[in-house]
Structures are given as structure tokens and as C-alpha cells.
Structure 1
Amino acid sequence: MHQHRFLLPGILGGIVSGILLGGFLPEAGQGVSFVGDLFIRVLTMLVVPLIIAAMITGISRLGDVRRLGPLGTRTLLYYLSTTAIAVTIGIVLVLIIEPGTSGGILQPGTTEPGNGLTEQHHAAGTIEEKIRSEDRTITDLLKEVISGMVPTNLFRAMANNDILPVIAFSLLLGGVLTTLGTQGKPVLDFFSGLNEALMKIIHLVMLTSPVGIGALVAGRLGEAGGFSGFLPELLNLAGYAATVIAGLMLHSLVVLPLLLKLFGRISPLRFAAGTTPALLTAFSTASSSASLPVTIECAEENNGVSPKTAGFVLPMGATINMDGTALYEAVAVIFIAQMNGIALGGAELGIVFLTATLAAIGAAGIPEAGLVTMVLVLKAVNLPLEGISLILAIDWFLDRCRTTVNVWGDSVGARIIDKLTPDSN
């Protein structure tokens, strides 16, 4: 991870440069915005192959899915459950707080010329009217979401960046491959190698992120006409960051300690004290994978987790358990919709819930990996990718916060599963 040593200073430098350029020279900011657009295009290009490779590789780490046993089954159920809880917290908070509808941003129905949102506002009204006119029940919404996971043509779905069916197919293929023994091994090795190659590409892309993020920020400020036009969006950004942090705190300081107390049978304060080195490492590196050795050591040496459980649960958690990332993505997607005056109905919120939960499984444990899966979730509900340009200004900090929550969730899970699986000791 040494190549990411200067990533944070670089991103901060890019953000400051973008703010200065777009704030004082709006036309110049708009002129360099194409560099930021190129950065987003590269991330978009990686989404579909990353989903397929990461999902299949993640499933393969479970071994033969028919023989998961108590340890594997409980680990999987814990990770899916806590991630789903985190996403629910994020969705509820962002819908209650509505950070994207304050600070003077144009509301749905506004058609002021030159704001670039007229078509999106019209789309918002269309979505809202459709949902109201159909008067669909929860069952109807569930049927719609589930039906959307089974495409008539998988390659067409991939070409259209239709994410849900790609995720469903990847999980199915990965599960089946684990049951084929020697016949499935070459295919799993291929996807494992593809996953490693894509991770390397993402590492290289993230090395260019200071320039890409700086250009996006400069372009956004330039389009707003400089500092004066950007002030309302800045107020919204503060509300967005506060919403994400509130959600992360609620999940990490209330939900996870409660689960730890009930099922892990240990004082949350004592457990947190033993996990502190791993949490500090996670915050400083913004990487679950880089924190893994420290996380395992803290679990075994400080918190009494058996080596068998720690060796199985924590590496898997660093790969597929991303509570903080899932919560952040749910908040960010709905925030972007609010900023653009797009009303998300029950079906769309259901898709956000599913894709944010499943995208967390495919989020690599590297800095800013949530940015890649963010594109995935936005695509799933047809929201404008340009909205990412605003949240990138604060994402460098939120990335560290959500990674810390990811590692905390992994550690809590290791203790709980260790206590619930007596034969793991």
C-alpha cells in the first residue's frame, strides 16, 4: 500500500487547487472539467468487470457453498444483516434530514434557464406521478425489483450498465463454481486473476485521483459562476457530511455495541479499547486490507478471539463486509437525487437498498474504493454521475470515517461469531 502514502495529501492538494481555480477563474474551471469527466468515465468503465470478478472471487473464498458449516454460515448472515441495518440507517436519516433540499437549491418544478437541471426535474415529476398513479403495494415493488434481477439478455444488461442482474448472475455463477471442484478451479483462478488485475488498475486510477478530483471540483465551481454561486451547494455539502457521520456514529456507537453486548458477551468499552490500534490504522490508511494484520492481532491478543475464527472471519470481512461504505453510498445516492430535484419512490429506494448492500460486498478494501461502487449504485437508479463531483470535495475525510466503521464491524463480528460457534476454538 506504499503507493498510496501520498494519496491523501495529493487529494487535498487537488481539492484546494480546484477550489481556487474554479472559484477565482470560473471559465478556466469549466475548461479543465473534461479531465474530471474522463476520470469518471474510467471509473464507469471498470464497474461491470469489477462486479463480476469481485463477486465471484468473494464467493469462492467461502469454499464449497454446500459445506459452509456453522462458522461460514454465521459469518455470512452476520455480515449481510449488519450491512442491511447500516443501509437502512443511512436511508432513513437522509430522508428525514434531507441535506440535498436545503440551502437554496432549486426544488422540483423549477425551470430557471441555465441551471442544467430542467430535464432532471421533469424526470422527477414523471417518476413521482408514475408511482402515485400506479398505487403499487410493497409486494408489487418487491416483484418489480426481483424481476429486474433476471435479464432476458445478460450481455445487453452489461452493455447498458444494468447493475442488479449483473450482481445476481455473478453471485449465482460464483456459488455454482465452488461446487464443481477441480473443474471449477481454473475458472475461479481466472476470475481471481482478473480481480487482482482490476485492483491494480484501480490503484493506478486512484493515483490520478488528485488531478481528476481537482478538475471535477474546479468544473463544478466554474459552472456555478465562482464562489458566490457555489455557496448554497457548500451548505448542502456540510449537511450531507453531517448526515453520513451521524449515520456512522449511530451504527458504530449504538447498533454494533448492542450486538456485541448481547451476543459477544463482553463490555463494548473494553472491546473497543482492545481494538483501538486497528481502528487508528484504519483511519490513517483508509484501507480495511492494510489494517487486516493489526485487526487480527487485536482480536486474538487483546479481545480473546480464537485464531481459527479470526483467521476466517476477519479476512472475509476485509473483503465483503463494508457497513460504513454501504451506509455512505445509500446517503450519497439519495443526496445526489435531492440535489437534482429527483424524487425517488418506493421502487427506487428498494433498488438503492439492494445495490448499496450488495455493492459493499464488491467494494475492495482500498482507499476510495467506495467511489467505484458509488457509480454502480447511481447507475442502478439512473441518476446523473456528475453529482459525484460535489461529494468528492469531502470524500477524502468520509472515506477514513467509513473505513474505521468497516473495521470496527469486522472486529465485532469476529467476537460474536466466536462466541456463537463453540467448535471454532
Structure 2
Amino acid sequence: MAVALDAVWLRVKNVCKQNGLLIMSVLAVVIGCLLGFFLRTRRLTEQEVKYFQFPGELLMRMLKINLIPALTCSSRLGLITVSYYLWTTFVAVIVGIIMVSIIHPGGAAQKEDSEDSGKPIMSSADALLDLIRNMFPANLVQATFQQYRTSTEYRLKPKPTVAQSESTTRRALIYGIQDDNGTDIQNFALDLTPPPDVLIKTREGTSDGMNVLGIVIFSATMGIMLGRMGPNGSALVNFCQSLNEAVLRIVAIVIWYFPFGIVFLVAGKILEMSDPSAMGKKLGFYAVTVVFGLVLHGLFILPAMYFFITKKSPIVYIRGILQALLIALATSSSSDSCKYVPEPHRPYSPPRSSCLIYSSSRR
């Protein structure tokens, strides 16, 4: 009996040692939810909530500051990674459309008046063109914190005067209908005034958020050119390799702050909710759609792609990405999670280029 207990304790100890950070992260999310709902009963002021969120804000800042060096200085981010990024993004869009068509998340929520929302409207063509524009950023520095976004406005054409309306736009159709006896004819007039013309106006704009796609394409192109330069580009290559190693060492320290910061980050988001019950009713189907889509894409489709490409077990692959998937779900930041991909020399980890999986899974 004692031998069996010792064996169980040794196995539990090994599991905690190998997955200690993952276990702490899961507990941090649970503790953050419980703490957030408990503090809602204390009726904290808006300023107190901001002070409470400060440790979580530090976590997001530390994650974002290391993203640019990790993307630009990693020698493994090449054209294959860019192609993989675009392909998985395309697959994620298809999965999202299928999930929305099946679940219909907007059916349970109240419809909001689009005219009062004040949000810019974008067509599919503009969205596709913006994606291509973001692949080639005009300002690399601006791409680190902003993306190109076309703003579209729909305006009604000014109405003509009464005289112009009657002479140019108003049309009437007069027709007669006999009664049942066929003796009396009743005349009716049908107004055929055309609907008002809608003017579409587009203008250039930006949206907050890192242009990851543009930075990756620039970094891949720069890496290819440095490789073709030979000895002339060795100085910059050595600099990028040294910077990449330094960033990885910094990230290794930052990840141990994650369980502490995520408690305040999750609890702060719960405190910001005006009415969690009402929001849960309105966004319940939406949350179910998002969760099922993420589970389907992150735990089934991507591992299946990994199996067909590498012919290796996807179970080992999933073990290597659990930490990054949890960070993506907890922080709602796809780019921050890519830095938590295990190193390729670990026996259970996926290739380094797979860090962009988590960006595509959150699209």
C-alpha cells in the first residue's frame, strides 16, 4: 500500500513539475472569476477598479513589448510561415461562418439600430483590399501599433424641392377596378416615387492594433535578402540572433508573472460588466459559438493539419500548445500567445513557426 501511494505521489509530483505553469494558469483563471464576482458585491468605484486592474495591465504590457523582437528577429519566420498564417486564417474564417450558420448567435439578442450605432460600415471588397494593404505597410514603425482600415459611410442624397420632385421623380399609375356587379369602376392611384439615392463615401483610416501580417512579411523578406547577401549580411544576422536569444530569456521570466497577473486581469473584466446576468443572456449564444469555434479550430483542425503535414502524433502537439491556447483565451490577445510556444528542442513541442497558429485561431 505504501509503495502504491509513493508511486502515485511521485507521478503527481512529476506532472506538477512538468506542467506547473499550466496548472497555475488554470487556477489563476478560476481564482480571477471567483474574485471578480465576489468584489462585485463590494460595489467598487470606477477608479478603484482601475487600480485593481493594474497588475493585469502590467502583464499585457510585458507581453506586447516582447512581441515585435520575437517576430522580427526569429530566423524561423519565413515565407512558409507567412503562407501557413494566411492558410490557417482562411480556414478559421470558414469555421466561423459555419458555426454562425448553425448556431445563429444573433437570434437570441436584441437587434440594435444600425443607424444609431455610429460604427463605420465596411464592404467585403474593402475588407479584402485592407488585408492586402496591411501585407505591405507604408510605415513599418506605424505597423507596430496601428493597422490600415477603410472607413465607409452611407449618406442619403439631398432631397429635391417639391417642384423638382413632382416634375422629375414623382410618378403615378392610375388604374381602375370594377366591382362584383361590373357596373361601377373605382380608380386607384399608385405612387411610384423611386427611393432616395444613397451616396457611398470611403476614406482612409487606421485602427488600433499591431499589423502582425505586415511585420511578418517584412521580416521574412528581410531574412531572405540577408541570406542571399552572404558575408555582407552576417553582422545583421548575428545581431538578430543575439536579440532573439535575449528576448526568449526575457519571456522565460515574464511567463512566471502570468498566473499572478491573469487573476487581476480576469477579475477586472468581470468588475467592468454593468450587468453580468443580462449580458450573459444576450451574449450566451455568441459565447457558445466562439468557444465551440475555438475548440474545433485549435484542438481538431490544426492538429489534423499537423498530422497530415508532419505525420506525427497530434496528441504530443496539443500538449505543447496548451499554455499558449490558455493565454489566448484568457487575454483575448492572439499575438501575445505566440511567444509562449515551447522551444523546438523540447521533445514535446511543435516547430517554432507554429507560433502563428494562435493568431489564426483568434481571427
TM-score norm. by structure 1 comes to 0.50
Distance verdict in 2 for CA 1:283–1:180, change over 3 Å: closer
Shift of 1:207: 1.4
CA contact (8 A) 2:321 2:342 kept: no
Q: How does 1:257-406 map to 2 (within 5 A)?
A: 259=308, 275=313, 278-279=316-317, 281-282=319-320, 289=342, 292=345, 294=347, 318-321=351-354, 324-330=357-363
Per the TM alignment, residue 44 of structure 1 is displaced from its structure 2 partner at its CA by 2.7
Q: Which has the higher strand share?
A: 2
Which residue, 220, 223, 236 being the options, matches 2:269?
220
Write the distance in 2 (CA, Å) between the matches of 1:145 and 1:280.
Answer: 30
Q: Encode CA deviations 1:77-112: one digit per residue, 9 max, x unaligned.
A: 5x666654433222112123237945855655479x
Distance (Å, rounded) in 2 between the aligned partners of 1:103 and 1:249: 27
Q: Which amino acid aligns with 1:94?
A: G
**1:206 and 2:255 equivalent?**
yes
Asked whether 1:237 is paired with 2:287, we answer: yes
Aligned residue in 2 for 1:122: 118
Report the secondary structure of 1:179's partner residue: helix
How far 1:6 moved relative to its partner?
2.2
Choose from 96, 113, 116 the match for 1:94: 96
Counterpart amino acid of residue 239 in structure 1: T
CA 1:289–1:219: 2 relative to 1, 3 Å: closer
The number of residue pairs the alignment matches comes to 261
1:15 equivalent in alignment to 2:29: yes
Instruction: Quote the Cα distance in structure 1 between the aligned partners of 2:220 and 2:291.
Output: 32
* Cα separation, 1, equivalents of 2:255 and 2:355: 19
- Check 1:15–1:106 CA distance in 2 against 1; reply closer, same or farther (3 A cut): farther
Q: CA RMSD in A?
A: 4.0
1:110/1:30 CA distance change after superposition, 3 Å: farther
Q: Which amino acid aligns with 2:217?
A: A
Structure 2: tracts of 5 or more residues without a match: 1-15, 147-209, 325-339
Q: Distance in 2 between matches of 1:43 and 1:289?
A: 16
Aligned to 2:245: 196
Counterpart CA distance in 2 for 1:162 and 1:9 is 32
TM-aligned CA deviation for residue 323 of structure 1: 7.4
1:11 and 1:209 in contact (8 A); partners too: yes
1:278–1:292 Cα change, 3 Å: farther
Q: How many Å apart are 1:228 and its aligned residue?
A: 3.0
Other-structure match for 1:333: none
Higher helix content, 1 or 2? 1
C-alpha displacement of 1:43 = 2.3
Whole-Å separation in 2 of the counterparts to 1:167 and 1:229: 41
Please report the TM-score for the alignment, with normalisation by the length of structure 2: 0.57
Corresponding residue number in structure 2 for 1:154: 140
Deviates more, 1:22-31 or 1:181-190: 22-31
Q: Deviations along 1:14-71, whole A, 9 cap, x unmatched?
A: 21221112112224593522332332233233333332223xx225xx8xxxxxxxxx
Percent of residue pairs bearing the same amino acid type: 20
**Change over 3 Å in CA distance of 1:249–1:50 after alignment to 2:** closer
Matched, 1:176 2:176: no
The answer for unaligned runs of 5 or more in structure 1 is 63-75, 112-117, 265-270, 296-314, 331-425
**1:193–1:284: structure 2 CA closer, same or farther, 3 Å change rule?**
same
Query: What is the rounded CA distance, in whole Å, between the counterparts of 1:88 and 1:325 in structure 2?
Result: 13
